[in-house]
Chain A
């Protein structure tokens, strides 16, 4: 136990807090008597009762949060025991202490608090961060598990218990068939809170995760309907239930589920619409997200529809538009607040589940009933999963294998929803309420603690195949990663996820109507990913440029205005900026050096090689692009993943688009390629001369026809004519950089003349060092445009030369082709 030392004081603090909580009611009483006696004005008064309720709530939240800190002091514990289980145990302990001090269980998880305040943040969080594509791809399976699975669980559990009851093992109980079915319906539902809490720590594949997770969210409608139906049946009395009531029950299922969904969608629409107009009230933007979603929850609760469905779908539907509409800061605020609320609510729920269990009044023990419930719940869940999966696998493209089924059955955790529902039961009508309550608590604790504890080892054990662990060779690592990329590309091509047709239709509808209605104009525009990419890259370059300058100790490079100095920088010297590079150079040097003592040379090479190996592995490990399966993060309540993935996407996207654009152009322009190539070469040289002659004043001769052509190309790609005027500006400004840079570039490298394969050859251009270069025609108007001077100097920041060359194009880029070509076609143009 590494964190033992740190735990002691914290536990002490916790105990003190708890004792204070227990002791407060007494002091309150004493204080009140005291208060009555004193007359006249008092400077300081002790008004405990005045703040009692919020105070206690705040203290509990504090205790729960502190407990979380304590748990995470020791990684060993949290990696083995799920946090939810720890919290329940903590709750039990705290409940015990309070009980010992107070002699009554004063704090329990009441259904009102749970349903109105604790559950909505968790479900909203789940909806708002739902991986939509994954969710809708598997919607069919999710619905089957959620609807049929839950009904199956409820019916089989209730009926089996009733059957056993008839056999008399349970002894005398005042329960009828309907009570059993009612109990079955509330214990049947897999709990979203518990599932998330446990599955978050078990890393299963995304399909499996979304099915269990989605099921737990969507089964709410079924649970609510079954619960309400059987409750009203119990109230009516078994003999008065008619067939009409049963039909009504089935109808109400559709009304409740579809109605809840509809409410969610309507509020999502409202929310998106509202955020469209919050431009001038940025500060309260995040508030809308929470308030309107919460209203959707309350509205459907008011209409007795499925509130969980409502808020889930509100989150799912609004996420796209809201994220596009609100400002970046607001988006961050929403993200963090949502995670904080959800995480906090979850903590409180589990702790209070523990605390609530410590109440002698609710406990009624019936061994047979409890054990049989546990047995039936687990067994029928497994049977149900196997049956449904068998059915599904006949239609699914991604088969759910036996291992998946085991995890799904085992992951059917029950949680606070069941507890809150059972606590809602009317003790007058349901005679054995306490038995139900105690059994539910046992089932919840068993599933969360025992199954939660064992599911991780189970998952690991089932995937025992990959036991061999050795550092793979460089080739294996590189090619392995390449294979992953290949696979995901092939999956995309073969349309593995399916539903493409529907998705296409929806995307069309969304683009043509919904987005226009629900998104700001600016947001619609900035959705153009190419522009985003360039914007981001510009920002990054500017930042790294300044950082680099600062790292070097001064910002002198900003101050020196003379371009002459810059031109004199010798770029051909290798820049030993990184260890890797220097080692690599050392290696090459030693290999080429004339050395007669071959053995010592070999020795030296080997040691250098080993060192380099380590570094290379490290570099690869760190910077290889991750394949989609790894980086597309799943929903996680606690972890806000940074935008690493987006960054990667942008980099690759940018690269790909640039390449395609070039091959597209070369295909378009290169009708007679061999002839063209030589022509290009000649022209480039000529253009070069022109540029060289204009170096001193740093101005690029611009001829409008060339840019007209460029503009046309750009429109072809972006089809965003509104941006056009800005591009002229950007173009003009970056022009200077472009040719300045190409002066040095041209001397060092010459492209292979002639393009054999229009798609392959641009590769060379796409070196990561040149990646940051974005063709000027892609520059968005609002991109960060450094001052003229800064621009001129950016490419020459000595430490970061390659990275910081976003504003120029390589000499092979089509733009310079166009420029050169144009010059040749108009020999009379002014700048010649």
Chain B
């Protein structure tokens, strides 16, 4: 299986990226090749268009939202470190690594909280720290087949928000979001084995 590619490739800022994201040298190199393959015109950054070229994303109901998460704050391009930083959320949580972590250091990108935060911001479009009923409904519309009527969807959205909503403000805050998922093995569910 292909460990192809030139080994002479030098990743700009490789070391600092590696420290921040926790990727191994090999994964980082692989991701760098991927980054350059996606970068159609060798611009040195990726545009939305580059990511939209990935066919499988077009049939992923959340595909475009995930693409958007690569472009925070309305920017139109993402460089390699930004690219890797997003992917780093999905690095598996290393038990030993978590054990010996220096508490003074900022939480690694792949911590449970950060994984959840990544998911949360896919819902929270207006960045007000809350998933409103409206935002919930939008996600539902994306994820549910056309067989479900609008009324059904609305009632599902209502129920979902109500279920998680603890302070009764009709929206799900990040705290409520994490609470509603506390039984879930996020560390496992939001990790990709190969992203070491």
Contact = CB atoms under 8 A, between A and B. Distances in A.
Contacts of A648: 59, 145
Interface in B111-151: 118-119, 122, 125, 138-151
B163 A473 contact: yes
Interface stretch (A394-402, A408-416, A706-714): A394-402
B156 interface: yes
A660 B64 contact: yes
A771 interface: yes
A623 B141 CA distance: 11
Interface string A480-511: 11111111111111111011110010000000
Contact of A482 (B38, B122, B138, B150): B122
A768 B154 contact: no
Contact of B58 (A501, A580, A584, A656): A656
Given A392-B1, A581-B152, A486 B122 contact: yes
B181 A475 contact: yes
Interface string A383-411: 00000000010011111000000000000
Interface stretch (B9-17, B93-101, B188-196): B188-196
A11 B103 CA distance: 71
B148 to A, nearest CB: 5
A625 B143 contact: yes
B1 A396 contact: yes
Given A616-B156, A648-B145, A493 B54 contact: yes
Contacts of B58: 652-653, 656-657
B14 to A, nearest CB: 17
Nearest to A495: B34
A526 to B, nearest CB: 17
Contacts of B54: 492-493
A581 B160 CA distance: 15
B145 A483 contact: no
Contact of A494 (B34, B62, B156): B34
Contacts of B171: none
B189 A474 contact: no
B193 A478 contact: no
A392 B2 CA distance: 10
Interface string B49-76: 0011010111111111010101000100
Contacts of B145: 623-625, 648, 651, 768
A205 B194 CA distance: 15
Contacts of A500: 34, 37
B109 interface: no
A396 B147 CA distance: 41
A496 B192 contact: yes
A619 B156 contact: yes
Given A479-B181, A759-B64, A768-B141, A802 B87 contact: no
B163 A493 contact: no
A655 interface: yes
B84 to A, nearest CB: 9
B159 A763 contact: no
A479 B119 contact: yes
A579 to B, nearest CB: 9
B90 interface: yes
A479 B131 CA distance: 12
A496 B196 CA distance: 12
A600 interface: no
A42 interface: no
Contacts of A488: 56, 60
A482 B1 contact: no
A597 to B, nearest CB: 21
A624 B60 CA distance: 12
Nearest to B172: A475
Given A486-B122, A584-B158, A619-B156, A140 B2 contact: yes
Contacts of B48: 759
Given A141-B1, A619-B152, A768-B144, A613 B159 contact: yes
B194 A397 contact: yes
Contacts of B186: 483
A487 B68 contact: no
A396 B38 CA distance: 21
Interface string B167-196: 000000000000011011010011011110
23 contacts: A140-B2, A399-B193, A474-B156, A474-B163, A475-B163, A478-B140, A481-B143, A487-B189, A492-B54, A493-B38, A581-B151, A584-B155, A584-B158, A616-B155, A616-B156, A623-B147, A625-B143, A653-B59, A757-B125, A759-B48, A763-B125, A768-B144, A768-B153
Given A140-B1, A487-B190, A578-B149, 12 more contacts: A398-B194, A482-B119, A483-B189, A485-B60, A487-B192, A495-B30, A653-B59, A657-B58, A660-B52, A759-B64, A802-B150, A803-B149
Interface of B: 1-3, 30-31, 34, 37-38, 48, 51-52, 54, 56-64, 66, 68, 70, 74, 87, 90, 118-119, 122, 125, 138-156, 158-160, 163-164, 180-181, 183-184, 186, 189-190, 192-195
